[in-house]
Chain A
Amino acid sequence: MLPDVDLLLEYPYTRTTGPVLGQFLTGLRDGHLLGIRNGDEVLCPPLEYDPETAKGLDPVLVEVATEGTVTSWTWVADPTSTHPFDHPFAFALVLLDGTAHPMAHAVDAGSIDEMSTGMRVAIQFHEERTGSITDFHFVPLGRVHVRDSGDGADGAEPVTTIVQLISLNYHEPLHAHRARFAQGLLDGRFIGQRSPASGKVYVPGRGYDPLERVEMGEDDELTVADRGTVTSFTVITPIDYYCQKETKPYIRASILLDGSDSPLISVDIRNLEESDIRVGLRLQAVWRPAGERDLTGIDNRSVPLEGVIERWDPTGEPDADANKLREFTQ
Chain B
Amino acid sequence: MTDHSRDVAIVAVSQTPAYGAFAGPEPVLIMRCVNDLLSRTGLERHDIDFTLAGSCDYLSGAPFAFVMNIDGVGAWPPVYESHVEMDGAWALFEAWIRLQLGDIDVALVIGSGRSSPGNNREIFALQGDPYLSAPLGLDPASMAGVQARTLLDANIATEADFAAVVERSWKAAADNPNALVRRSDTADQLLNQPHYAAPLRAHDVAPVADGAAALLIVAGDRARELCERPVWIQGIEHRIESHHPGYRDLTDSPSTRTAAAKAGADGTFDVAELMVTHSHEEIIMRRALGLTDDTVVNPSGGPLGGHPVMATGLVRVIEVASRIADGSAQRGLAHASSGACLQQNLICVLQGDD
Contact = CB atoms under 8 A, between A and B. Distances in A.
B45 A51 contact: no
Contacts of B25: 175, 206-208, 300
Contact of B135 (A45, A81, A117, A134): A134
A101 B246 contact: yes
A186 interface: no
Contact of B71 (A73, A106, A133, A210): A210
A74 B130 CA distance: 21
A133 B132 CA distance: 6
Most buried by B among A77, A117, A210: A210
Interface residues of B, number: 62
Interface string A90-132: 0111010000011111100000100001000000000000001
Interface string A1-44: 00000010100010101000100010000000000000000000
Given A80-B121, A166-B126, A101 B31 contact: no
B246 A210 contact: no
A80 B139 contact: yes
B244 interface: yes
A172 B116 contact: yes
Nearest to A94: B246
A78 B24 CA distance: 30
Given A117-B153, A206-B25, A7 B34 contact: no
B45 A213 contact: yes
Interface in A36-85: 45, 47, 51, 71-84
A81 B134 CA distance: 13
Contact of A73 (B119, B123, B146, B200): B146
B135 A132 contact: yes
A101 B195 contact: no
B28 A82 contact: no
A101 B121 CA distance: 26
Nearest to B22: A175
Contacts of B244: 45, 47, 51, 101, 103-104
B7 to A, nearest CB: 30
A322 interface: no
Nearest to A164: B130
B295 interface: no
Given A74-B145, A104-B138, A134-B136, 13 more contacts: A7-B117, A74-B148, A76-B197, A80-B119, A103-B244, A103-B246, A104-B143, A133-B135, A170-B61, A172-B116, A175-B24, A210-B27, A213-B73
Top-4 shortest CB links A-B: A74-B145, A82-B137, A210-B71, A102-B246
26 contacts: A9-B61, A15-B130, A21-B131, A25-B131, A45-B244, A51-B247, A71-B150, A72-B149, A74-B200, A75-B198, A77-B194, A77-B196, A78-B196, A84-B136, A91-B143, A104-B143, A162-B131, A164-B134, A168-B58, A207-B24, A208-B31, A211-B76, A213-B72, A213-B73, A213-B74, A301-B60
